[in-house]
Amino acid sequence: MTRPSPAIVAQAAVRPLPRWALWLLCLAYAVPGFVGRDPWRGDDMQAFAFMREIAIGQTHWLTPMLAGQPPDANGLLPLWLGAGSIRLSNGWLPVELATRLPFMLLLVLILISTWRAVYHLALSPQAQPVAFAFGGEAQPRDYARAIADGALLALIATLGLAQFSHETTSHLTQLAGTALLLYAGAALPVRMTSRPVLAAGTGLLCLALSGAPGMAMLLGLGSAALAAGHARAASSPAPARRAAVMLMILTLTTALLVEWLGLRHWRITLPGDAREWGSLLRLLVWFIWPTWLLALWTLWRWRHQLAGGASHIALPLWFALVALAATFGTQPADRALFQGLPAFAALAAFALPTLTHAHTQLCCGHRLVHAALLQSVSHRDLGHLAGRPDRRSSPAGSQRGPTRTRV
């Protein structure tokens, strides 16, 4: 018999993590990487140079040039953010710090959006833990908050986020767009309010103007399709239907904007030989470590719920698959894979309520095997292992020991 949920969680297991501790952890992760340093070499230095040239009026906002060369990245949104921050600071802050302020806010927005997305996904009926016979299971909101905390911690622990999250490049603007779209896709089918609608529109624009219009179209259309599927399975399908229509309208509007600005590009380039495939595989394994192991465990433990159309697994799985597919596109593979980190963190979070039960089953199985081995060993074998003869198996005369001769 298949359980309605593989998660067996008691109320005592979802004790709330102090909000102040979680906020301090997010600030400790976001702020130090931006404050008190010079621009790093590579993309970070190039982006800073373009931002400064745009801010002082040495090049055009729509067609920036540096020494007669355009920027390597296709998206102009990160350059606009940095240049606009320099203009708004008006000399009050150092130029390097002024360019990083919007990206610092973007990183905080990514963490908040990921937490909110997983919180709404964990509130869905398919994601709830097994109801106990006499009560005591985790309450829905407490359970959702614990899962969202786990997703946020998994995202912070991912090596890929640590590598690119403190650069003033399109990596961060694309990641912000993905996180906002994930939050909108999770919240809109339940309750259509202005906040997730604004998140969906902003996320699509961030992706389209940051060099990833193909990902924006795929993520938007996939979110709309999953919302339509949620409408067929929900008891009250009206909010999910409105969410599907809204996501479709926003995606088509973004597609028209992309076509008007001439930003449409998507080319599949597969690795040529086994060495390139091996390099890509190492990138996948290393870049999303350690969330990919937990994500695979989630897909295995929740496989029956996924077949039934569970949105808390289907939505982040679609985002993760699009990020994996985008590694074969025109942009660098690490940048494309970087956009899948919120989805992998969400999948990893839903592995957490099944790990304890699996560990308990493993320990119980180990005890059963150990007891069976002990039962199968006879007293004779135990005596042989101890180096002592088994008196019950010796001849009758030998049980009295050696005979003594009476004089």
For residue 315, the model assigns a pLDDT of: 95
> 47-53 contacts: CB < 8 A, separation 24 or more?
47/71, 47/73, 47/78, 47/79, 47/82, 47/167, 47/168, 47/169, 48/82, 48/96, 48/99, 48/168, 50/79, 50/83, 51/79, 51/82, 51/83, 51/86, 51/99, 51/168, 52/83, 52/86, 52/95, 52/99
| Contacts of 112 by beta carbon, 8 Å cutoff, 6+ apart | none
162: pLDDT strictly greater than 90: no
Q: pTM for this structure?
A: 0.85
What is the tens place of the pLDDT at every residue in 196-253? 999 999 999 999 999 888 899 999 999 999 999 887 767 678 888 999 999 999 999 9
Prior bond of 290 cis (ω within 30°):
yes
What is the tens place of the pLDDT at every residue in 297-347? 999 999 888 877 788 999 999 999 999 888 876 566 777 788 999 999 999
Task: Report phi then psi at 262, rounded to 5.
Answer: 70, 35
Strand partners, 10: 137
Distances, alpha carbon 102 to alpha carbons 49, 89, 109, 344, 350, in Å: 16, 12, 10, 25, 31
User: Which of 357, 355, 364 minimizes the C-alpha distance to 297?
Assistant: 355
What is the tens place of the pLDDT at every residue in 354-368? 886 554 444 444 444
